[in-house]
């Protein structure tokens, strides 16, 4: 919905704008609270819900197949390396969330498999 004018003819605050602004900021808060770090970086410069939504839409609708294939490849090729276990798991979760955001969710089995494949021998069971 378009924003009402911030003022009315006598330069008083427009009550319709104030109500719209409050509702918009609630939506902004919800969007920010539900984003992963990579997605947040896309919308950090946006201040209105519609701007955020359009940015996300544009980012994920331009090349969903290529994005999905690239992210899946990264997920299956992940290794813990020198990352802490927490950072490693967060990165795997971030990739999984990115796929879910473009309607390509990762199954639980693929998620666990990706995690286990990337672990060092230190985490192997005896």
pTM of the model: 0.51
- Determine the structural domain holding residue 99 and report its residue range: 64-123
The answer to whether residue 90 is domain-embedded is yes
* pLDDT at residue 62 in the model: 63
Residues 69 and 119 in one domain: yes
Residues 68 and 33 in one domain: no
Residues 76 and 47 in one domain: no
Q: Which residue has the higher pLDDT, 105 or 58?
A: 105
Beta bridge pairs of residue 13: 7
Residues 118 and 73 in one domain: yes
- Render pLDDT for 97-124 as a digit per residue (tens, 0 to 9): 988 888 888 999 999 999 999 998 888 7
The answer to whether residue 9 is domain-embedded is no
Per mean pLDDT, which range of 9-13, 34-38, 53-57, 92-96 is the poorest?
Answer: 9-13
Per mean pLDDT, which range of 70-74, 75-79, 100-104 is the poorest?
Answer: 100-104
Helix axes 49-61, 15-33, angle to 10 degrees: 40
């Amino acid at each position: 919905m378009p924003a009402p004018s911030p003022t009315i003819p006598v330069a008083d605050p427009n009550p319709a704008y104030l109500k719209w602004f409050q509702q918009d900021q609630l939506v902004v808060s919800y969007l920010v609270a539900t984003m992963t770090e990579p997605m947040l970086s896309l919308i950090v410069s946006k201040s209105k819900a519609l701007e955020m939504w359009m940015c996300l839409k544009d980012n994920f609708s331009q090349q969903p197949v290529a994005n999905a294939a690239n992210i899946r490849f990264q997920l299956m090729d992940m290794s813990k390396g020198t990352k802490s276990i927490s950072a490693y798991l967060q990165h795997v979760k971030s990739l999984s969330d990115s796929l879910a955001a473009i309607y390509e969710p990762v199954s639980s089995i693929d998620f666990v498999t990706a995690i286990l494949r990337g672990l060092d021998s230190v985490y192997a069971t005896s």
